[in-house]
Each structure stands twice: as C-alpha cells, then as structure tokens.
Structure 1
C-alpha cells in the first residue's frame, strides 16, 4: 500500500467508523475540531460553542480562527509557508494544516530525510496512529496555510491596560506598511529638492543667458520628476489608508471585546450613556495617531532631507526659520497646562450631555406617557449651557497662543524673503536671486512640519484627556480570565449552599447571611420571601454575575468559582422579569444567534413556552420581525419568547426570576401547566411572588432578611413556617372572603343591613 493512501482519511472521509463519523460532519466542523485538538495539547480546553460564527455555513479562515483563539486566551498565528519549510518542522507541537475542501488535519511530526510529514485525523484521539504524507499528495489537498497555537504565558494585547504604550504597540504591529510608507516619504523628500534646484538654474542660467535649449531640457526633467512625485504620493496615500483601516478595525475589535467582558455589576452601577461617551472618546486618539500625528511625522522626513540643503543655500535664513518655529513650539508648551484643564471640563460637559440624550431616547416611551417633554427640555438646556460655556472658554484660551503664533508664522512665510532680499543686495555672494527663490520654495516645506509638530502639543492635550476617559471604563477589571479558564464539567444540576455570605459593593449590610441548603439534581425549587429578602441575589450568584461571596456555593460538588464562566452560563437557562429581545426575527431571537438549531427545535421550544399559538397567528410566523424595544408584540408574548429562548438549549438548570409576572392569567396558566414538562430532567429555580405558581415545587425555600427561614414542600411550610403562612394568607384572603358569603347567604344580608 502506498504511504499516502490514507490522505482521504485524514481529510475526514474514510470508510471505517471514524470515517463514517467524519462524513457526517461538515469540513468546517472538522477544521474546528483540529483547532480544538491542537489547543488541548497545550492545556487549553475550548468549546466549539464559543465560536461565534456558524461553522456549518462556511469554513472559518485562519484569520478568523486566530482572533477566536486569542479571545479564548491562546496565542495563535496563521501563516502561509512552502513545503520545504514545512517538512523541516520536526518534533513540533501539533500544527493545523488547512485543506482546500474547508477541513483540516494535524501535523504532528515531519521527516526531511524521507520527505514526508505525519498527519493525524482531528476526529480521532491522541492515541491514533499518524499517517505519513509526501509532498505530491499533500499538494493536492493543502492550501499552504497553517495555524500555530500555544498557551499564553504573559499579558497579551487584549488584556494590557489601555494607554499610549498599548496604542503605540498596536500601530507598530503594522511594520511592513510603516516601512513602505517611510521609504515612500524619504523618496518624496529627495524628489522635492530637485524642483527648487531646477528653478534656481532657470533663474540663474536660462533667464540670464537666454538659453532655449537649456529651458527645454530642464522642462523635460521637471515633467519626469513631477510624474514620479505624483505616483509616489498616490502610493503613499494608498498605504496610509490601508494602515489606518487596519488599525481602525483592530482597535474596534479590541474595544468591543473589552467592553463586553466587563462584569454586569459595572454596567449596573454606571449610566449607559456615560459609558458610551467615555469609550467612544478613544476614537479621537485613533484619529490623532493615524491622522495628524502620522502626517506630521511623515512631513518630518522632508525636514530631515531638506533642512541640511537650506543651510547649504543660506545658513542665516535657515537659522531664522528654525528659531521662529522653535518660538512657536515654546508658546504652545506654555499654554498646555491651562488648555488641559479647560479641555477636561469641556469633555466632561459633552459626556454629560450625551448621557442625557441617550437616557431620553432609551426612555422615550415613559417620557411620552408622562408628558415629560418640557422637563427633559429644561434638563437638556442646562447641560447644553454647560457645554457652550466650556467651549467658549476653550475657544478663548486657544485664541491666545494662535494670536501669538501668527506673527511668527507670517515671518516664516513672508519675512524671510525680505531678509533674503536684503542679504542679496548687501552681499550678493551670500545668496543669489535663484538661491533666494529656491530657499523660499523649500523653506515653506520645512516650516510646515516644524509648525505642525509644535501644534501637535496642543492636540496632545485633548488626546490625553480622551484617552483617560476611555481608559476609565476599558481598564476596569474584566471577566476575561473567568470566561476563558476554569473547569467545564458535565452539568447535572445538584446545588449546595454552605455558609454563603454576600454583600453588594458599598453596602453596609449583608444581602445573604449564612445561607445553607442543598437540593439534588432534577429538583424544582421555589424561592419566596418579602422584597429584599435575597431571592434574586441567589440567582445572581448562580449565574456568576457576582463571585465575591464567602462560603461554598457548589454545582454538582464543584465550587462555582472554579467553573468556566462561559460554560456555566451556557449550561443555564435564564428568564427574567423584564427580558430583552434583539431586533430581528422571532426565529433569530429564539435561537439567539447560536448555530446548530433547526426550525423543528425552535417550534419545540415555542410549544414548551406556550408561544406556538400566537406565533402561528402572525402573518410571517417565525420570520416575523421584532422591532427595537419589542414594540410590535405584547409583554406577555415577549416573556414567552424569552422562555422559548431559554429552553431551546436544553439546559440542565433553569432560573425563572419572576418569569410569569408579565403574563396575563391565561398565558400564566399555560406556562405554569408546561412547567412540569419544562422541568422534567432538569433543576428548576423559580423566584415568584405568586405562591400559587409554586405549589407543585418539590421544595420551597423561604427567605427572610438574607437568611433561609425554612425549606420544605408547600403543605409542610403551611403548617410550620409563619412567614410562608402569612404570605399565603395575604394572597388568598380575597378568595376566601368571596367564598364565605356564598357558603352563608344570610351573612351577606346581615352585612348589608
């Protein structure tokens, strides 16, 4: 048998049992399995469900895989290499080889002497024997792309504090583009020397000696140099646009990733509009780095090349130009302090105004319902007045350095020629007419970057303030480590609270105090108690929203803090009192963008949640589009869609926090009737003020002032728990009061009398 006969098996199409399994998987899924296997070699336990895109639609590119792996805490690099380099990678960790059909394989070794590499099927275990493949057979299926993976040992770009160093490193990663731009800038700087020299020759030679042939020759040279300058300028602008676009995309990806990895507690304590205003301030820094800063430093190449030539033409005029530009820089430096203080006030005022605008738009329904237009207009007028006040102050204080700089700038552009003319009259040997014209042509090019460099200091003040605003949000502690590390056990649903205590940040009292109880997997647990008793706090701890508790909270015998946070939350189904639906179809909201669910799964989840009947009445059915804010469906319909979204993943543990409070009696009765079916085979934690919906729970935990008052079935609690009995009587006294007159009609007559 030829040594390469097993290449199809590596690609995932063999005829044995593993091959049959491979044939049922898409090439994209095989590629993902190869990546998971390579990551597992380095001790990284990844979950294919963490991959945001749908692997069934199209095979992920190496760049997409690199981004995903880095988000999951790995270091990855995609590259294209040739066979002669691949075959020399002996005794290397598993390398992912990308195949043309969208699948992949793992290269576990290579033998340059034999001219083969050893590939392993990613669908088989680590003990499977690798297959030797030569260059000829591999070239028929291999794209030339490989993916290298290793475990991150140090702080990465995604985790490092956001500051100027972080941004500079991001820019310097584009070394190739920066090199090409530098070469183009240096070449342009050299080319810019020749036109003034040619003009000088025209004045000194052509005009003085009336030489037509020299004029024609010089004209031809000017045309050639101008053509080269136009082409190089176009190329440099193109390179700069590509560089700016790449930095912008990388910055946007990092910012969004950092923002969504912040803990929920942070968003609950901050104003949403305030957060957005602070984060978006970093784009001012981006504009500075890729705009004014880059253009100024590119112009500095001109300064490096042309300044020596100016000293060659006239050292006196050159020193005057440099001195004037230096005075401009000194003036700007003096005003940096006052500008910085006023700029900070202006940015703060603009951020507050943006927060008011966001809050108004987000709460427009309440604003219209309560007729608060005039009240909000008054608030808007006040914050706008603050913005105008500080903008005016900023404009006035900025006006002073601009006024002081203007005479120096005018001297560079106009005064130098007068001094040069004087020198030409007094000492014709020091500078000629042609040399004076050439100096003026080049002097403007030198003065521009010098003046621009000094003005950058003023821009730097605004940029520093903006960066501080963005860093105040993005440098908050994130959940990245908890989301990318930790155990991924198979969830069954057994819960255990052992001396659990918890207090919210800044609170003086404990929200949970010595909470102790445990329930086996598959239990339906009700949580009841007065407002503020700690019911919702327990659900927050279960979801990993807060991890700063003391004691032991265990899921299937494992402390919750040791479980990977993404895996934990994906194993839960959560339905809140007020659920958010995304703008999109009903189908998209029920699947929540997670790949792998079919329409049958969606229908089954909708039926469990009692949503099937109203969805089928809609003209577009499951393709019905839900507007922003769910304005085109009722609150009860939104709640049932949220329940369907929770049950479609078949979680082993479900949390319903006042999930039926927004439902009408008919819908609530329908959902409650389905709760037993929904809860079959899974643990249910149900928080509800309506005790009648918890009667059938296996256990009901009564909370009081953060502690467990009692835990038992409904009948037992009625007999021995005063708090539960009081709550039950309060909710049912009206029913009992209506029944008594019916049982005794004479009492109704007596009461009427």
Structure 2
C-alpha cells in the first residue's frame, strides 16, 4: 500500500509548480480565517475602550484591512477552485491516457474475460473520483491542519482550560471517524463494482438494440437493467447508512464543542477568569475548530471514493501483457511469407485441454491454403497464432524461418492482413475506415484500394461518396458493402500474408460472388489462409487442410480429397 501511495503521488510531478501554488493559496486562505477573529477580539476588547475619535479612525483602518483580507481570501478560494481543478483534470487526462494505452497492450485473452462496461467504468467514473481526491485531498488536509493547529494555539493563549475542553471533543470526533473508516471503504468499493455492472448492461443492450427490437424484448432488457440497478441501490443504501451514522455523529460532536465551550466559558466568566471579548473570540474560533473537522470528514469520504477507484486502476495496470516484445525482439521489414508450424500445441489459459495438438504445417510463400473442419476443430485458433493474438503453449510458429516470438509485434502484424466474417467498422466516414489500413495513405491510394476491392462503384453512388458517414459499426451499409470496405482496408495495408476467416459465409449469393472475386484479387501472389464454411468457395484452393480435434486429418486438393471419400467428402456431400 505504501508503494501504491508513492505511485499515486508521482502523478503530481509534471504539475509541481501548479500544485505548490495551490497549496500556497490554500495556506494563505486558511491563515486569513485565523487572523480575522483576532482582529475582532482586538476591536471588542481594546479599540472600543479608546477615546471615540481614536477608536473611530482605528475601526475604519481595521475595517479596510479586513475587507482587503476578505478580497485576498476570495482570490485564494478562486485559485484553488479553478487552477486546482485544472490540475486535477490534467492528472485525469494523464491517467486516462495511461490506462487506455495499457488496454491497447493487453492480449485477446484479457478481453475474452472482461466486460466492456467494466473497463469503461475504470476509465471514466473511477478516474474522476481519483483526481478529485488528488486535487482536493492535499489542499483539504493542509487547510484543516492549519486551522486546527492555529485555532488550538490561539485558544490555548486565550484560555487553556477552555481550549482543552474543545480539543477533547475533537479527539473523540477523530477516533469516531477512524472507527467508521474501514466500513465505509468496503461499501464504496461495492458501489464501484455495481456501477460497472450497470455500464456493462447498458453497453450490451444498446449495442444489440436491433436484436432487442427484432425479438420485442424491450421488457426483458428493462427487467435485466432493473435488477442491476436495484443491486446498485442496495449497495448505495449500505454506504449511505454508514455515511448517515458517520455524518450525524460528527454533527453531534460539532454542536457539543460549541455547547461545551459556551458552558465552560460562562463558568469561567463567573469566576472572573475570562472576559466577554475573549468568550466572543473563542466562539468565533469554534467555527475554525469544527469546520476543518467537517472538511476532514468530507476528505475521508472522498478518500474512500478516490482510493477504491485507484485500487481498481492499479488492479488493471498491474496486469502484465501476456503477449509482448522480447527485449531483443528483431525488426522485420517486407517478408516472403513462408509460414511454418512446428509441433504446435495450444490451449486457452482458463482451459487446460488442448485446442490444437502437435500440429506440423509448412506453407510456401504465395501459397493458397484452405482450412475446413467441424466447428471447434481449431481453424480460427490456428490462424490467430500467426499474428500472435495468442501465444502457442507448445512448439513454434515461424515466419520466413524466424520464430514469431522473436519479432517485434508491430512489425509482425504489419505483414498480416485479416478479413473476418464479423466486419468491424468504426463510426465515421468511408474514407476514414479504409484509411485505417494505412493511416498515412493519400486519398488516391484509398480510392485505388477501394477499386481493387470492387467497392468504388457503390461508394460513389452514396450521397457524399467517400465522405459518407456510415454510422456506428457501419449500420447504414449492407453486409456485402461492409465486407468490401474491410477488403479495401487490407488492400491498402498490402501485406504479404492474408487470413480470410469465413469472410463470405454471412453474405447472400450475389454479394458472395462480388466479395469472392475481390478476395481472389487480394490473394494473388500472397500467402493466404482461408477458413472456409462454404466449401464451394475453396474448390480451386491449391491445398485444403481438414482439421479435427486430433490435428490435420486430411490434406490435398478438392478433387483428391473427394476421391479419398473421407471427412472432407462427407462435409462436401452434406452441403451439396
């Protein structure tokens, strides 16, 4: 925990000047609140006893000085309210960049087990609470310490007996705060988990809104949301019960300090040990005594919120990417495209049963290889090992004879183009989506890629051509159009190795023919892996591999495999 605190404090480093200025103005503002009651004591206890003319001029001078102090205090509060929050926003920006950058480094294995809503919650509401703590926390503690210590010293000078009555109540208040601290922390942590569940539910429901409406399941979604929302209310109730007990207890102690001081002061006045001016001053300082304690109460609440958020932030940041560059990873420029699987085995981290076992495969540069087999045979998994979306658990995958684990990830993935069945297009224009394949590409290169993918004609028929906004995930386009854009993206990337993951299986016959033609153009002179659902699309493949749970069961051309009368022939006859 100590180490985490050091890490948290490191976020102030780039804004050290702003932080120190914030602390300085907080201290000046706190000091002014201590000075004004002393001036009131001087006026009520000394000035009013002077001759009227002298008293009048002194009061005017002191009044002007007090107004100036109030103006300075006002500016101090403005500075810490504005610049302090700006510092907090900048720290939030840095932390958000850090966690988003970390998300980008994590592998598919991490995202397979996470809900987007939970990840979103850590990058939005959690970070806001952390930076509120980083901004307000130190300044609240400094202001409270100055006011508490300063007020106590001044009250001690005025009357020691009265001062110890007040400090006695303050000590009890702080002990009470510490006792409630642990309970509140657990409750706030539970609140965070519940709001993350709600975010996840909203993201899931709104992303699938077309499915929801097509099944008329709005009520089902509402019921699911209501269940999560109710759990959130229950967790809030628990935290509010602790907060209610906490705040009411603190309120009682604050009032008791005033009552106790007033009764003790009255008794001391009767004994002649305290003047009326001193009692008035003392009661003015009681506010300076109790207000910082209340600030500390707010700080503890803020601390629970912010620190539980920071724990969740650290939890994610401590997840080391399981797929990353070796320290001595090699750079890789253009490659020939030879792919070798040497005794490759693989299983997912949460399941020790092998998806692939002792697979050996040698694919020459420019070769067109089709993978077929029943669902769950490991076709997609086999192809996912080539760009290192997952790492082999046994054996090695080689690109041009080099173990892909020895190559820089960015260089490796730059050599591989993937066209999937489920096309993901980003919200934005067609131009932006195609250019995603090569961010530095010129408009002319984008148009050429679209032409090669048979997409130019339909793009030009749209109202704004390449500048047409396609909506979230490309909802304004047909399946065939989306697929052609994804192919154009890969044409633009121009990689030597291609993976087609059932790229046409979701399309109608007409769209399939157009897309299939685009895929064949793209595959020309490139090493190509095709995961095929429709066997009609791979009849012309130079090499067809039949995958089963035991590995590569059959290998050959379409005609030779049919002649064998084995697994492939059975799959083909089932389809035709």
User: Is the pair's TM-score, using the shorter chain for normalization, greater than 0.5?
Assistant: yes
5+ residue gaps, structure 1, are: 1-159, 733-753
- Name the counterpart of 1:642: 486
- Name the counterpart of 1:242: 86
- Give the 5 Å matches for 1:436-475: 436-475=279-318
- Name the counterpart of 2:350: 506
Deviation at 1:414, TM superposition (A): 4.6
Secondary structure at 2:493 match in 1: coil
Q: Against the structure 1 CA distance between its residues 401 and 261, is the aligned structure 2 distance closer, same or farther, given a 3 Å change threshold?
A: same
Instruction: Tell me which of 21, 34, 45 is aligned to 1:204.
Output: 45
Deviation at 1:591, TM superposition (A): 0.4
User: Which shifted more, 410-419 or 609-618?
Assistant: 410-419
Q: Distance in 1 between matches of 2:92 and 2:305?
A: 19
Which structure features the higher share of helix residues?
2
Deviation at 1:234, TM superposition (A): 3.3
Is 2:369 the partner of 1:528? no
Indicate if the aligned counterparts of 2:132 and 2:306 stay in contact, CA closer than 8 A.
no
Indicate if the aligned counterparts of 1:261 and 1:479 stay in contact, CA closer than 8 A.
no
Q: Distance in 2 between matches of 1:359 and 1:544?
A: 28
- Name the counterpart of 2:397: 553
5+ residue gaps, structure 2, are: none
Indicate if the aligned counterparts of 1:328 and 1:451 stay in contact, CA closer than 8 A.
no
Indicate if the aligned counterparts of 2:165 and 2:260 stay in contact, CA closer than 8 A.
no
Deviation at 1:376, TM superposition (A): 2.1
Is 2:400 the partner of 1:400? no
Deviation at 1:588, TM superposition (A): 0.4
Q: Against the structure 1 CA distance between its residues 454 and 229, is the aligned structure 2 distance closer, same or farther, given a 3 Å change threshold?
A: closer
Q: Against the structure 1 CA distance between its residues 667 and 266, is the aligned structure 2 distance closer, same or farther, given a 3 Å change threshold?
A: same
- Name the counterpart of 1:175: 16
Instruction: Tell me which of 129, 134, 154 is aligned to 1:289.
Output: 134
Q: Distance in 2 between matches of 1:681 and 1:589?
A: 25
- Name the counterpart of 1:218: 62
- Give the 5 Å matches for 1:67-106: none
Is 2:486 the partner of 1:629? no
Q: Distance in 1 between matches of 2:119 and 2:231?
A: 20
Q: Against the structure 1 CA distance between its residues 711 and 301, is the aligned structure 2 distance closer, same or farther, given a 3 Å change threshold?
A: farther
User: Which shifted more, 228-237 or 243-252?
Assistant: 228-237
Q: Against the structure 1 CA distance between its residues 467 and 304, is the aligned structure 2 distance closer, same or farther, given a 3 Å change threshold?
A: same
Q: Distance in 2 between matches of 1:499 and 1:721?
A: 27
User: Which shifted more, 262-271 or 410-419?
Assistant: 410-419
- Give the 5 Å matches for 1:33-112: none
Q: Against the structure 1 CA distance between its residues 478 and 612, is the aligned structure 2 distance closer, same or farther, given a 3 Å change threshold?
A: same
Is 2:28 the partner of 1:187? yes
Is 2:514 the partner of 1:670? yes
- Name the counterpart of 2:417: 573
Deviations 1:192-232 (A, max 9, x none): 34322221221123323332222223223323333433344
Q: CA-atom RMSD, angstroms?
A: 2.6
Secondary structure at 1:626 match in 2: coil
Q: Distance in 1 between matches of 2:229 and 2:553?
A: 52
Indicate if the aligned counterparts of 1:610 and 1:667 stay in contact, CA closer than 8 A.
no
User: Which shifted more, 259-268 or 232-241?
Assistant: 232-241
Indicate if the aligned counterparts of 1:510 and 1:706 stay in contact, CA closer than 8 A.
no
Deviation at 1:296, TM superposition (A): 3.3
Deviation at 1:557, TM superposition (A): 0.7
- Name the counterpart of 1:335: 180
Deviation at 1:479, TM superposition (A): 5.6
Q: Distance in 2 between matches of 1:604 and 1:243?
A: 47
Q: Against the structure 1 CA distance between its residues 226 and 250, is the aligned structure 2 distance closer, same or farther, given a 3 Å change threshold?
A: same
Q: Distance in 1 between matches of 2:19 and 2:385?
A: 49
Q: Distance in 2 between matches of 1:386 and 1:182?
A: 40
Instruction: Tell me which of 81, 95, 99 is aligned to 1:255.
Output: 99
Indicate if the aligned counterparts of 1:185 and 1:302 stay in contact, CA closer than 8 A.
no
Secondary structure at 1:689 match in 2: coil
Q: Against the structure 1 CA distance between its residues 161 and 299, is the aligned structure 2 distance closer, same or farther, given a 3 Å change threshold?
A: closer
Q: Against the structure 1 CA distance between its residues 556 and 266, is the aligned structure 2 distance closer, same or farther, given a 3 Å change threshold?
A: same
- Name the counterpart of 1:607: 451
- Name the counterpart of 1:166: 7
Is 2:169 the partner of 1:324? yes
- Name the counterpart of 1:8: none
In the alignment of these two chains, the number of paired residues is 571
User: Which shifted more, 645-654 or 677-686?
Assistant: 677-686
Q: Against the structure 1 CA distance between its residues 217 and 507, is the aligned structure 2 distance closer, same or farther, given a 3 Å change threshold?
A: closer
Q: Distance in 1 between matches of 2:186 and 2:83?
A: 37
Deviations 1:518-560 (A, max 9, x none): 1111111111111111110111111211014210110111111
Indicate if the aligned counterparts of 2:435 and 2:441 stay in contact, CA closer than 8 A.
yes
Instruction: Tell me which of 523, 541, 549 is aligned to 1:697.
Output: 541
Indicate if the aligned counterparts of 1:529 and 1:704 stay in contact, CA closer than 8 A.
yes
Deviation at 1:362, TM superposition (A): 1.6
Deviation at 1:721, TM superposition (A): 6.3
Secondary structure at 1:241 match in 2: helix
Instruction: Tell me which of 386, 400, 403 is aligned to 1:542.
Output: 386
Deviation at 1:411, TM superposition (A): 2.2
Indicate if the aligned counterparts of 1:189 and 1:306 stay in contact, CA closer than 8 A.
no
Secondary structure at 1:547 match in 2: coil
Q: Distance in 2 between matches of 1:602 and 1:419?
A: 84
